[in-house]
Amino acid sequence: MSVIPTPTEHHLVRRYADFTTLAEALDYAALGHTGCNFYAGTGELFAVLPYSELRDDALAIAYRLHSLGLKRGDRVALVAETHPNFQRFFFGCQYAGLVPVPVPPPLQLGGGSEYINHLRRLLTDSQARVCVGPSEYGAFLAEASEGLHLQFIGSAKSFSKFAANPVKLDPLEANELAHLQYTSGSTRFPRGVMITQRAVMSNLSCTIDHLQMTPEDRAVSWLPYYHDMGLVGLVLAPIVSQMSVDYLGTREFAMRPRQWLVRMSESKATISFGPPFGYELCARRLRREDVEMLDLSAWRVAGVGAETIRSEPLLSFAEELALSGFDKRAFLPCYGLAESSLAVSFAPLNQGLRSEWVDGKHLSETQRAVPIANEGPLKLSRSNQFVNCGQPLPGHQVAIRDESGLELPERYCGSVYVRGPSVMSGYFGDGGNHPDVLSEDGWLDTGDIGYCAGGDIIITGRKKDLIIINGRNIWPQDLEYLAEQEPEVRPGDASAFSVPGPDGHEKAVIVIQCREANVEKRRNLVERIDRAIRADLGIDCIIDLVPLHTLIRTSSGKLSRFRTREDFIDRNDWDQSPMLAVS
């Protein structure tokens, strides 16, 4: 294995995702010198995997997979650590005619028993025949797979003991699955999104074209491989465009977020993506001396997506790093979901964040987004700020519909539907093909809420998270935002949802991680948040202060309002005592 990072430029004529399958894309990338580079949290380069070596390794794995007697299309679960073995086995499956299933490693999912139960659900639902993961997780894998009759479960090292079966390889074809992508929103009822080779190549082609990629581009990523943005956007996109990419583990990023910026600076990388909380975490941890040592002038695409986008923390990030050469015009808001391979829309390149303020009261009562100027007397009215996520990818359509399925005019808020070549073919296994999610004529109900303006998409929230109080739509992000305006509450420390009240009507709740131990100061914080919610939204709200690390996140790092709600109900015995007082 090489010890020098793969270069940014090479002699190959660049091809930008004009391939039929992922295996075909790697065949071409392997002719050049670019590849993957893996960095530890302390900054050391610990592994380099040129695409030429990746192809050789993947072919060797494909021959060994054939020795297990697997059938074409069988599923291979891969514990998605940020390590070269993931890429090796993922593409080994491509060449062997098998379907890789990225599953999360045991982080951000609670204790060992919770992880084992979650992994077992994924293995069962995907009907996996093989599961490969790091040797340190061996006990977890063994317990999760007990009684499931897998052909192999263990580490890459133990798998290498199988003899290669010298058969003629028949890689996956365009109409076959490229991978199963499990959604991160529910650990209890996972859904395996079936993505064909044709669908993912369509999405990658549109994405790379929009980013206007050049031979000078290089990427950096800390995103988890089991998340659609991490896998499709930063594992597959570099390969199908022959671009070198530098990886930092997700766990290492969480511990040392500054290393993301160090990698961008040292490699003069031009492209990186992340959810808003990643940028917020960096900005919180930065010191003045860090900023002065960084050079981010090459960073031309700072993609933002995977959760509802708020402009304030991103603009704070840009302001903090202006001395490092970061240009706020690099921000590229996007909208996407696993059920559409990855991307649905992108904002225009080189324009930064485009936001609009709308009358929040009018939106809540009539579902119409009426723009306002958030200044002067109008600033006294309740207003909401939303970030524009741009227009749909070429060949894709977006429609906004009401509860009865009728398409709404522009600026009316409703359910977001998507149709196009990137959309999934359905859910695998027990998830089934739900006609309420994917219609016969190809329309996908994304589960998101938003509106269109001038052909652009503006996302306002998730349908399942919407709080309805006395017939009014209350967005949980509004409650969370009001709490985060208090100096004691950091971004990402608040989670809002609703629970049934004693009279059968919904009651708003906000759970807030609080670092303050003084009883009187805690009471004062609750009173301030209560006043802000009453003044801004005009509703009663239970405010529950909890210790740090109480809020529950999905496997991709997003706040899980559903699971935080379950925890709130369990902690407070809500069903028996629904009149919980404000904490």
The domain limits of the chain are 22-256, 346-463, 466-572
Angle, CA of 33, 39 and 44, to the nearest 5°: 110
Residue 373: per-residue pLDDT: 74
Residue 579: per-residue pLDDT: 39
Residue 479: per-residue pLDDT: 87
| 574 pLDDT more than 70 | no
First to last CA, the chain: 56
Which residue type does 480 have? E
| 238 pLDDT more than 80 | yes
Beta bridge partners of 448: 462
- Report residue 519 CA to chain centroid gap: 37
Residue 583: per-residue pLDDT: 43
Residue 403: per-residue pLDDT: 85
Q: What is the mean pLDDT of residues 477-491?
A: 87
| pLDDT, tens digit (0-9, with 9 covering 90-100), for 404-459 | 889 999 999 999 999 999 999 999 975 555 767 888 889 999 988 899 999 999 99
| pLDDT, tens digit (0-9, with 9 covering 90-100), for 313-368 | 899 899 999 999 999 999 999 999 999 999 999 999 999 999 888 887 788 778 88
- Report residue 305 CA to chain centroid gap: 7
Residue 377: per-residue pLDDT: 47
Residue 110: per-residue pLDDT: 47
What string of DSSP letters covers 392-460? EPTT-EEEEE-TTSPBPPTTB-EEEEEESTTS-SEEEGGG---TTTB-TTS-EEEEEEEEEETTEEEEE
For residues 191 and 122, what is the distance between their CA atoms, to the nearest angstrom?
A: 9
For residues 159 and 153, what is the distance between their CA atoms, to the nearest angstrom?
A: 8
Residue 504: per-residue pLDDT: 60
| pLDDT, tens digit (0-9, with 9 covering 90-100), for 208-228 | 999 999 999 999 999 999 989
The secondary structure element, H or E, covering residue 150 is: none
Q: How confident is the model at residue 189 (pLDDT cuts 50, 70, 90)?
A: low
| pLDDT, tens digit (0-9, with 9 covering 90-100), for 25-53 | 999 999 999 999 999 988 899 999 999 99
The CATH architecture annotation of domain 466-572 reads 2-Layer Sandwich (3.30)
| 581 pLDDT more than 60 | no
What are all long-range contacts of 24-31, with beta carbons under 8 Å and residues at least 24 apart? 24/171, 25/201, 25/236, 25/239, 25/240, 26/51, 26/54, 26/55, 26/58, 26/91, 26/94, 26/239, 27/55, 28/242, 29/55, 29/239, 29/240, 29/242, 30/54, 30/55, 30/56
For residues 475 and 6, what is the distance between their CA atoms, to the nearest angstrom?
A: 45
What mean pLDDT, rounded, does the chain reach? 87
Which position has the token pair 């609703």?
498
| 575 pLDDT more than 90 | no
Coil/strand/helix, residue 582: coil
| 163 pLDDT more than 90 | no
Which of 104-113, 144-153, 492-501 has the lowest average pLDDT? 104-113
| pLDDT, tens digit (0-9, with 9 covering 90-100), for 284-312 | 888 888 888 999 999 999 999 877 788 88
**Tokens of residue 62, six digits:** 């494909």
Q: How many residues does the chain have?
A: 583
Q: How confident is the model at residue 463 (pLDDT cuts 50, 70, 90)?
A: confident
State the CB neighbour count (10 A cutoff) for residue 218: 24
| 376 pLDDT more than 60 | no
Say whether domain 22-256 belongs to CATH 3.50.50.60. no
Which position has the token pair 């007990």?
146
For residues 157 and 142, what is the distance between their CA atoms, to the nearest angstrom?
A: 16
Which position has the token pair 């059938």?
71
Residue 580: per-residue pLDDT: 42
Residue 240: per-residue pLDDT: 97
| Domain 346-463 class, CATH top level | mainly beta
Q: What is the mean pLDDT of residues 509-532?
A: 90
User: Would the pTM of this model clear 0.85, i.e. be above it?
Assistant: no
